[in-house]
Amino acid sequence: MKMFTPKYPLIQKIFSKVQCYTIVFLLTPGIFVFQMTVVFPHLATTLDASIPKQVAHICLATFCFINVVGNMIFSILIDSTVKRPNKEGTFCEYCRMLRPAKSWHCRQCNVCILKRDHHCTFIARCVGLYNQRYFILFLGHVMVSMIYATYYNYYYVSAKFEDHGWIVSAFRIINPLLRFIIPEPMSIKDMYVVYLFMNVGLIVWSGCLFIYHLRNVVMGVTAYEAKYSELMNSTNWRANLISVFGTKWYLAILWPLADSPLPDYVKWE
């Protein structure tokens, strides 16, 4: 019997892993460290913030960081692969076994995934039954954290320039040709403006993905099924949400370590 061998270039696997580790170990902690060691002390001094306000800011920033990193790590570590053949379902030509409904084979991971939503290159793993909760909450907390950070970064960048000079810097970054008209040399202040742009970009990126995937959850479909409008049904939206975020969803959205088990009717393995 002929076996099917999925082809996935090694260079793509390496790039996916490097991208994942960069986000986990460099980008996310780097943003938090910059906020807490550069932006926060400067604003606390400039705005003469009181001790209670500083403590509140530190607590909120730490809460955002824990939720972003926690949900990101769990979405990477938690496995949603089909561990054993099912008694009924669709037949996978690659794994040569029956798999539960809504389970699909991923050519990148080379395994069948329970309730496969999609393969995410940013976390180098498929999003499926058991890690979908963490992936969506990761996007949601990134969006909230970036909105929170951008609010303070705006005042931080404004304090570095005089008379709204950061706006001129922003135009020079967007259109390099303006450097011939505005001869002022580049400085470290321009990098702060780039950082502010990065914050806004992350808000748009995470916000769009969060809204898209949350809508699919409410409608009871995966990313693949979302292509077919006739499969969408928001009538059982509450049950659809519980099937992803668990029976204690109200704790899951606040704390990545919260125990929020899935209801029995979605445990297909």
Number of domains the chain is built from: 1
Are 203 and 213 in contact by the 8 Å Cβ rule? The answer is no
Which of the four pLDDT bands, split at 50, 70 and 90, describes residue 141? Answer: very high
Determine, yes or no, domain membership for 224. Answer: yes
Q: How far is CA 133 from the centre of its chain?
A: 11
Determine, yes or no, domain membership for 14. Answer: yes
126/109 Cα distance (integer angstroms):
7
As given in the structure block, the two tokens for residue 225 are: 């099924």
Determine, yes or no, domain membership for 3. Answer: no
Determine, yes or no, domain membership for 207. Answer: yes
Determine, yes or no, domain membership for 55. Answer: yes
Which string of b and e fits 105-137 if b means at least 16 CB within 10 Å? bbebbebbbbbbbbbbebbbbbbbbbbbbbbbb
Looking at residue 183, what is its pLDDT? 62
The per-residue pLDDT of the chain, averaged, comes to: 83
Q: Is the pLDDT of residue 130 over 50?
A: yes
Q: State the residue range of the domain holding 44.
A: 10-266
Determine, yes or no, domain membership for 4. Answer: no
Looking at residue 211, what is its pLDDT? 96
Query: What digits encode the pLDDT tens for the residues 72-122?
Result: 999 989 989 988 888 888 888 888 888 888 888 988 888 999 999 999 888
Looking at residue 156, what is its pLDDT? 83
Determine, yes or no, domain membership for 5. Answer: no
Residues 6 or more apart whose CB falls under 8 angstroms from that of 255 comprise 67, 70
Determine, yes or no, domain membership for 241. Answer: yes
| Percent with pLDDT over 70 in the chain | 80
Query: What digits encode the pLDDT tens for the residues 149-190?
Result: 888 888 888 777 766 666 666 767 666 666 666 666 666 777
